[in-house]
Structure 1
Amino acid sequence: MKKVIKKTVYLFVMLSFVIIIEGCSEDSNDTQDMFNNQKDIVNLDENTTISDEDAAALLFMIEEEKLARDTYEFLDKTWGLNQFANIKRSEQTHMDAIENLLKQHKLSYTILPEGVFSNQELQNHYDNFVIDGAKSVVEALKIGATIEDLDIKDLENYVSLTENNTLINVYQSLICGSRNHLRSFIHGLDLNGGTYTPQFITQNTFDAILSGSQEQCN
């Protein structure tokens, strides 16, 4: 009886290991930005303070990451492309990382329903993105590139404005993820005969991102 139990436990452990490996490798092309910021955040001093400017940045960024997640959710349902299916899950991890910081610093926030934003500029972006993204696969992929372009610009701006090392580390991880996402969307555009010109980051920065390889963002 003991041998049967041991064999069953062994098979269960091996099956769980296989499932974990398959789950990690399934999205390897588009979600190389998975990172473990929770480790750093949990170890923060409970008495750590945060400036009003940093608090405002976090509240904005959780909605901007939500903009990406919600838009990709819509575009995934519309077109069923791997880029949107994979990257929308990655955007949820981005939201989780920022949410952990909000909780750590006891900042009040609300995550509104899908497609709804408290920031009017982000709301306008979403409304336009879902209209334009429904027109064609090329337009949808351009929107993905636009979102990552915007995300990189805003995150780099917040990195330059803060002296909080924990926030800088998280922002840098998010930027790394957005670089990977941008490469993925541009690759999709190449395959579908589309092109994209950067609107927010510089052409030199854009070219440097595309010339680089997929990154492990930790």
Structure 2
Amino acid sequence: MRKKLVGFGLLVLGLFGLVIGGAAAYRGTLWPNPEAPQTYADEYSAPLSDDEASGLIYMVEEEKLARDVYLTLYNETGLEVFERIAESEQTHMDAVLSLIGKYNLTAPATLDQVGVFQNEELQSIYNQLVEQGSRSEVDALKVGALIEETDIKDLENWTAQTDNEDIRGVYSHLMAGSENHLRAFTAQLDARGVSYTAQVLPQGQVDEILSEENGHGKMRGEGHRMAGRDDGTGNHRGIHGESSARGTRGGGMNGPKGECGGSGRGFRG
């Protein structure tokens, strides 16, 4: 009888852990979650290839780019969605940094400086995104969605270049977070009467992410919850076309205004 009670108690604790983890995800805080399995545990340790090492260094700065753009646009617009997602991007940086430390790699020295990047390409992209997003609330929200689409595409590319389970686990968490964030930004655009069109990923993939349920099991209502009280602010005047943000490489940030969609490429090209 005692064994049955102990087993039942462990089951309850396990279910409680899943509930806590789900609640953390719905708040946009996907990492770290003390109740979730640590996918970068020592048993997954293996030598890194040059591509795997380069991917970690690049991704920590790409997550920083998202954080820094959102912090800057929060100061510009006052929209709480940017403040909340910037906090989530910091947790994403921390997740990648945990792997950088584990594999004895050297992290960029500028991670604590908002708007300053070691990667010159990302520096240029940051400057252009901030300029674009500062034009209006709608432009700012489209920049946020553009960043999240690009993150998803780049994470897909880096995941395909690694067979290390710890790296793949972290990238999977980051991708789920980017999908949540994309839903949050498009929910904000919906509240302003703006229909969102894919800028980097295929339209069908974006539609799937924004649908009621997708591969990571999240619901579209997530975007409205993360957006918080900014939803329902009414329609705001702004640009209803494609984002005109442009960068130095990659289909998502290159090309003339209104030609961002369907390229299938991210910041890295």
Contact 2:95 2:170 in 1 (8 A): yes
Q: What amino acid is aligned across from residue 106 of structure 2 in structure 1?
A: S
2:90 equivalent among 85, 89, 92: 92
1:81 aligns with 2:67: no
| Range that drifts further, 103-112 or 90-99 | 103-112
Match of 2:241 in 1: none
Identity %: 42
1:200 aligns with 2:200: yes
1:53 aligns with 2:51: yes
1:31 aligns with 2:28: yes
Distance 1:146 1:47, change over 3 A: closer
Q: Secondary structure at the match of 2:199?
A: coil
Q: What amino acid is aligned across from residue 191 of structure 2 in structure 1?
A: L
Contact 1:141 1:189 in 2 (8 A): yes
1:126-175 per-residue CA deviation (whole Å, 9 max, x = no partner) reads 10111111111000000000000000000011111111111111101100
Distance 1:45 1:28, change over 3 A: closer
Q: Which has the higher helix share?
A: 1
Distance 1:46 1:173, change over 3 A: closer
CA–CA distance in structure 2, aligned partners of residues 161 and 184 of structure 1: 29
Query: What TM-score comes out, normalization by structure 1 length?
Result: 0.80
CA–CA distance in structure 1, aligned partners of residues 197 and 204 of structure 2: 11
Q: What amino acid is aligned across from residue 68 of structure 1 in structure 2?
A: A
Contact 1:69 1:91 in 2 (8 A): yes
Distance 1:150 1:46, change over 3 A: closer
Q: What amino acid is aligned across from residue 157 of structure 1 in structure 2?
A: N
Q: Tell me, which stretches of 5 or more residues in structure 1 are unaligned? A: 1-23
Counterparts of residues 91-110 of structure 1 (less than 5 Å): 91-110=89-108
Contact 2:153 2:201 in 1 (8 A): yes
Contact 1:38 1:97 in 2 (8 A): no
Contact 2:149 2:200 in 1 (8 A): yes
CA–CA distance in structure 1, aligned partners of residues 123 and 46 of structure 2: 32
Match of 1:9 in 2: none
CA–CA distance in structure 2, aligned partners of residues 114 and 163 of structure 1: 32
Distance 1:107 1:209, change over 3 A: same
The size of the alignment, in residue pairs, is 190
Match of 1:4 in 2: none
Q: Secondary structure at the match of 1:114?
A: coil
Match of 1:125 in 2: 125
Distance 1:28 1:175, change over 3 A: closer
Larger RCO, structure (CA 8 Å, separation 6 or more):
1
CA–CA distance in structure 1, aligned partners of residues 138 and 80 of structure 2: 14
CA–CA distance in structure 2, aligned partners of residues 208 and 160 of structure 1: 21
Q: Secondary structure at the match of 2:38?
A: helix
Q: Secondary structure at the match of 1:199?
A: coil
Q: Secondary structure at the match of 2:107?
A: coil
Q: Secondary structure at the match of 2:198?
A: coil
Q: What amino acid is aligned across from residue 55 of structure 1 in structure 2?
A: A
Q: What amino acid is aligned across from residue 121 of structure 2 in structure 1?
A: E
CA–CA distance in structure 2, aligned partners of residues 159 and 202 of structure 1: 18
Match of 1:160 in 2: 160
CA–CA distance in structure 2, aligned partners of residues 47 and 56 of structure 1: 17
CA–CA distance in structure 1, aligned partners of residues 50 and 25 of structure 2: 37
